[in-house]
Amino acid sequence: MKKFLVAGLYRTGHHAISVWMLHQFPGVRGFSINTVSPWMFALEENNNLHILANSPFKENEHQDKKKFAELVEKVKPETVILTHEQERLGITVFEAAKREWFWPPHMVVVIREFRNWVASCIRMTERDNKPVESEINEKIISLYENHITSFLENGDSDSVTFILFDKWATDPEYRKQTCEKLGLTFTDAAKEQLSIFGGGSSFDNMNFLKEASKMDVTNRYKTMEDNPFYKAIIHKHEAISLMSKETFA
């Protein structure tokens, strides 16, 4: 059984990438997900079953998450892709290690360019009428710093693959190379499918449900350059901005 653990933060694009990963198998040509529950999805190809589960380690969110390991043992999927969000990478690994059935997974860490990530977090709070601090604050920014520092200091390895969302969203060759790193088959199916998790896009809602590439995801920051919250965060965290520029250069 192939096991992938996809780590990210809200608005980094890790859900879209997880759905895309679920479709990178021979013969898959279009969006083919079957919904098992609000947090679990399945895809079948050539008599093989592949499962995507959103944050199954957070068992308090849904009662049936406590039975996930039992389900996997019963149906014996070819591939299991799990997401885990809003945590330091060390804690994410620790949570995975506590599940003997899932250890060791191949870890995938999704990072988004800092300015675009900040802009999307702020825009989400405006869309949902929430305080900015509820979605982006010092604790959450420290998680972003943890993720991008790990990329700059360690990079990819046999057990970890970093995916830079902005490059993934715009560069087919980068997506193909990513598939090769993960041992998947490049079909690019579901690339155009907008992830519905988190209410869809912070900026475009569900307007581009089947045309995700039409969203200008790499220039979100330009719409926020006069926003006082955005300016304050970028000014305060110049060091992280520089790390991000180095990463996405």
Burial degree of 6 (CB within 10 A; 0-12, 13-18, 19+): buried
Q: In the predicted model, is pLDDT for residue 221 greater than 80?
A: yes
**Domain ranges in the chain?**
2-248
Q: Where is average pLDDT lowest: 7-11, 32-36, 141-145?
A: 32-36
| Length of the chain (residues) | 249
pLDDT at 217: 72
Q: In the predicted model, is pLDDT for residue 196 greater than 60?
A: no
pTM of the shown model: 0.90
pLDDT confidence band for 88 (50 / 70 / 90): very high
Burial degree of 92 (CB within 10 A; 0-12, 13-18, 19+): buried
Specify the DSSP class assigned to residue 205.
B
Task: Express each pLDDT in 110-133 by its tens digit.
Answer: 999 999 999 999 998 998 899 999
Given this structure, which CATH class describes domain 2-248? Answer: alpha beta
pLDDT confidence band for 192 (50 / 70 / 90): confident
Q: Which of 15, 12, 3, 50 shows the shortest CA–CA distance to 159? A: 3
Please compute the mean of the pLDDT values over residues 12-23 and round it to a whole number. Answer: 95
